[in-house]
């Protein structure tokens, strides 16, 4: 399967500036930029980064740009109000954290990592862009008409809207210059021009400004330089209609300190049946035949969530590595009751369990029913008694006989026990010996 055919099959092509998608089949150099307004990327960022991985694996050379400069302004796209400005020190910390994540995601791949602050700042090489030079050389290339027609501008300028500052209004021009600069054999370590920018469809108007700037400059000079853009569709949860990557607890981060590997793994396991095939295509590097096999197997017995488990396995391994994947699977097996062995549990596993399910402390002789209520496995002591009477409660995978009313010393393994009701993932709680 050609690259263009694969990207179409995976649903990764939305907008493009080239007519024939087969243009993608001849490898060149592309660039993709990521924001530095947070100290971690999210699963929303991951979608386009996986598109970048596919291009690299098909021979394209990659320039990944961290927006250390553009983040000082803040991308207005998708925002209904002005962003709060972030200090340079914070953006520098964010950039360093994101650099580490990108290096892990693209480990073993051929790519160049750059930060646009290097050419926008007053650096030691005195190559920083002067404001007047920028207006004369690049701002002069665009009319207000084409700048005002951008979707986010019209949304922010309409009646009752919050308005937009000149700083955010000019964001697209700053990003356009980034593309122009990377098209001048300065981004790629092998000295090749970047001829393609890839991004999400929410970046389409900004990407078009970069294409337009390059073409305007080169057409004036009598050249016909290649400059194109490719966007992939924004991902929407089909079950909720909400933007992908958000949960009740907030964004799903790639940083394990913000979203643990187990929480990350569970996010994918909990994918709705309507979305799992699309997510396997977008977020994994699995080939077509394997994805079709997993989807067929899932459809034959959806209650086993086979496709979701494969999705969680692949994405967690890609983002966090084998060791973190193993921990996520161990913790998941414990919480789901598939494994009741607490004897060799590691401290980092315990920390992940506490982040996943309710936990409390108890003494030997404490009432089991009272603790069931405390960890919210039952709404009342009456319901707890009913669960106990119906033999619905287990401790460390062993059913608790109705006659047993209190914890025994033997219930605790290394000072801990897992109590469980039902079959749902969250129907467990961790109780530690006081």
Structure confidence by residue, pLDDT tens digits, 326-343:
999 988 888 887 766 776
Contact between 14 and 231 (Cβ < 8 Å): yes
Contact between 230 and 208 (Cβ < 8 Å): no
Go through 222-234 and write b for each residue having 16 or more CB atoms within 10 A of its CB, e for each that does not: eeeebbbbbbbee
Backbone angle region of 367, left / alpha / beta, with phi > 0 → left and psi within -120 to 50 → alpha: beta
**pLDDT at position 79, please?**
65
114/250 Cα distance (integer angstroms): 29
Contact between 196 and 230 (Cβ < 8 Å): yes
**pLDDT at position 36, please?**
94
Quick one: tokens of 266?
A: 């569970």
List Cβ neighbours of 163 (8 Å cut-off, separation of 6 or more).
82, 156, 157
**pLDDT at position 432, please?**
93
42/98 Cα distance (integer angstroms): 10
Handedness of CA 73, 74, 80, 81 (dihedral sign): negative
Stated pTM of the model: 0.86
How many whole angstroms from its chain centre is CA 133? Answer: 37
**pLDDT at position 402, please?**
87
**pLDDT at position 250, please?**
80
Structure confidence by residue, pLDDT tens digits, 204-252:
989 999 999 998 887 665 567 789 999 999 998 777 777 787 666 688 9
32 phi, psi to nearest 5 deg: -140, 135
**pLDDT at position 179, please?**
95
**pLDDT at position 345, please?**
77
List Cβ neighbours of 274 (8 Å cut-off, separation of 6 or more).
238, 239
Query: Where would I find the H helices in 149-272?
Result: 151-157, 166-169, 171-182, 204-220, 261-269
Q: Please spell the DSSP secondary structure of 129-151, one letter per residue.
A: PPHHHHHHHTGGGS-HHHHHTSH
Give the DSSP H or E segment for 328: helix 322-336
Helix crossing, 171-182 with 204-220: angle to 10°? 60
No. of helices (H) and no. of strands (E), the chain:
18, 13
CB-based burial of residue 402 (10 Å sphere; 0-12 exposed, 13-18 middle, 19+ buried)? middle
Quick one: tokens of 426?
A: 């969250």
Cα dist from 106 to 36, 182, 336, whole Å: 18, 20, 33
- The strand pairing partners of 417, in sequence order, are 431
**pLDDT at position 124, please?**
41
**pLDDT at position 32, please?**
97
Query: Where would I find the H helices in 226-287?
Result: 261-269, 273-283
Strands (E), 189-227: 196-200
Quick one: tokens of 100?
A: 């580490």
Tell me which residues of the chain have a pLDDT lower than 50: 124-125, 187
170/151 Cα distance (integer angstroms): 14
Query: Where would I find the H helices in 20-71?
Result: 43-57
């Amino acid at each position: 399967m050609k690259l263009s055919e694969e990207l179409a099959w995976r649903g990764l092509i939305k907008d493009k500036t080239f007519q024939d998608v087969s243009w993608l089949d001849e490898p060149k150099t592309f660039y993709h930029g990521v924001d530095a307004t947070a100290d971690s990327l999210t699963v929303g960022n991951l979608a386009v980064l996986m598109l970048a991985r596919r291009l690299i694996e098909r021979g394209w050379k990659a320039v990944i740009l961290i927006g250390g400069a553009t983040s000082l302004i803040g991308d207005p796209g998708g925002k209904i109000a002005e962003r709060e400005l972030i200090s340079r020190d914070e953006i520098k910390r964010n950039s360093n954290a994101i650099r580490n994540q990108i290096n892990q995601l693209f480990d073993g791949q051929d790519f160049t990592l750059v930060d646009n602050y290097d050419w926008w700042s007053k650096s030691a090489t005195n190559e920083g862009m002067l404001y007047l030079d920028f207006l004369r050389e690049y701002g002069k290339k665009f009319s207000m008409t084409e700048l005002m027609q951008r979707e986010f501008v019209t949304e922010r300028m309409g009646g009752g809207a919050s308005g937009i500052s000149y700083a955010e209004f000019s964001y697209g021009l700053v990003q356009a210059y980034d593309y122009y600069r990377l098209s001048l054999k300065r981004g790629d370590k092998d000295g090749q021009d970047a001829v393609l920018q890839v991004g999400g469809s929410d970046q389409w108007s900004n990407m078009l400004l970069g294409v337009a700037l390059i073409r305007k400059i080169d057409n004036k000079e009598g050249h016909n330089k290649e400059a194109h853009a490719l966007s992939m569709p924004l991902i929407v949860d089909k079950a909720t209609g909400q933007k992908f990557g958000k949960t009740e607890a907030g964004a799903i981060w790639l940083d394990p300190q913000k979203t643990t590997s187990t929480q990350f793994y569970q996010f994918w396991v909990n994918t709705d049946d309507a979305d799992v095939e699309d997510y396997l295509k977008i977020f994994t590097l699995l080939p077509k035949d394997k994805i079709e096999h997993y989807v067929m197997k899932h459809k034959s017995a959806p209650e086993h969530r086979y496709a979701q488990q494969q999705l969680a396995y692949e994405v967690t391994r890609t983002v966090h590595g084998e060791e973190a994947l193993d921990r996520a699977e161990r913790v998941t097996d414990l919480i789901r009751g598939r494994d009741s062995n607490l004897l060799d549990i590691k401290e980092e596993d315990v920390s992940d369990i506490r982040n996943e399910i309710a936990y409390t402390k108890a003494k030997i002789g404490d009432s089991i029913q009272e603790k069931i209520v405390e960890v919210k496995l039952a709404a009342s002591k009456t319901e707890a008694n009913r669960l106990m009477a119906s033999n619905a409660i287990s401790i460390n995978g062993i059913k608790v006989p109705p006659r047993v009313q209190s914890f025994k010393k033997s219930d605790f393994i290394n000072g801990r026990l897992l109590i469980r009701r039902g079959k749902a993932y969250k129907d467990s709680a961790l109780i530690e010996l006081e």
